């Protein structure tokens, strides 16, 4: 099992996962060596503090500040953290306004199951993912491990499917 698989299975609560496109990887290639190549970039799973510094160094944004902004908007993030669907993109998801809607970076962390908090957290481990689009939009998704299709925003959707429960 790779670190990313373990992270996605909810087994790495101390770590964060970062998706970065080539432009956001450091020039000396350190992050690249730590990461796993995915279709449109790299995903790294690193210790929380290191991850937050790497995120700031790569993107010029504070991870927590970015998360707060992204939380205000719902959008689908791929369950493997290899990209997302910008809520500003058209129905086809391919920017009928001619704008570039590639996902530039994603910051994700997981939380342990927590009966007391209730809702999603009583169902299992929750993955939180915050994405930044090339058009400037920030959005977020969160889902329960092993309920990837029953929770969070689904492909083509704009609202979390668990919201009407
Ligand atoms: Zn966009």
pTM for this predicted structure: 0.91
% of the chain with per-residue pLDDT over 90: 68
pLDDT at 28: 63
Question: How confident is the model over 60-81, as a mean pLDDT?
Answer: 95
Q: Is the confidence at residue 95, as pLDDT, over 80?
A: no
From the CA of 84, how far away is ligand 1's center (Å)?
A: 10
CA–centroid distance, residue 156 to ligand 1 (Å): 14
Structure tokens at 99: 């704008």
Residue 137 pLDDT greater than 60, yes or no: yes
Structure-token pair, residue 33: 């060596």
10 C-alpha to ligand 1 centroid (Å): 28
Find the 112 Cα to ligand 1 centroid distance in Å.
31
Structure tokens at 12: 């790495």
Centre of ligand 1 from the C-alpha of residue 83, in Å:
12
Residues 54-63: tens digit of each pLDDT: 899 888 899 9
Compute CA distances 147 → 6, 8, 117, whole Å.
Answer: 16, 12, 18
Instruction: Kindly report, residue by residue over 2-35, the tens digit of the pLDDT.
Output: 999 999 999 999 999 999 988 877 666 667 777 8
Domain boundaries, the chain: 3-164
How many Cα atoms are found within 13 Å in the side-chain-facing hemisphere of 74?
15
Ranges of H-type helices in the chain: 3-8, 30-34, 48-59, 63-70, 120-123
Are residues 77 and 142 in contact, defined by beta-carbon separation less than 8 angstroms?
Answer: no
Q: Phi and psi (nearest 5°) for 142? A: -150, 145
């Amino acid at each position: 099992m790779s670190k990313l698989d373990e992270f996605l299975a909810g087994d790495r609560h101390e770590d964060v996962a970062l998706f970065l496109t080539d432009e956001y990887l450091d020039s000396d290639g350190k992050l690249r060596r730590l990461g796993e190549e995915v279709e449109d970039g790299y995903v790294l799973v690193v210790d929380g503090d290191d991850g937050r510094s790497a995120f700031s160094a790569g993107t010029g944004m504070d991870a927590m500040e970015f998360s707060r902004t992204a939380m205000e908007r719902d959008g689908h993030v791929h369950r493997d953290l290899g990209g997302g669907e910008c809520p500003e993109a058209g129905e086809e998801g391919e920017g009928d306004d001619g704008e570039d809607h590639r996902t530039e970076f994603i910051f994700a962390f997981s939380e342990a199951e927590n009966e007391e908090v209730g809702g999603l957290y009583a169902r299992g481990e929750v993955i939180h993912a915050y994405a930044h689009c090339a058009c400037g939009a920030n959005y977020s998704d969160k889902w329960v491990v092993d309920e990837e299709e029953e929770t969070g925003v689904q492909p083509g959707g704009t609202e979390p499917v668990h919201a009407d429960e």
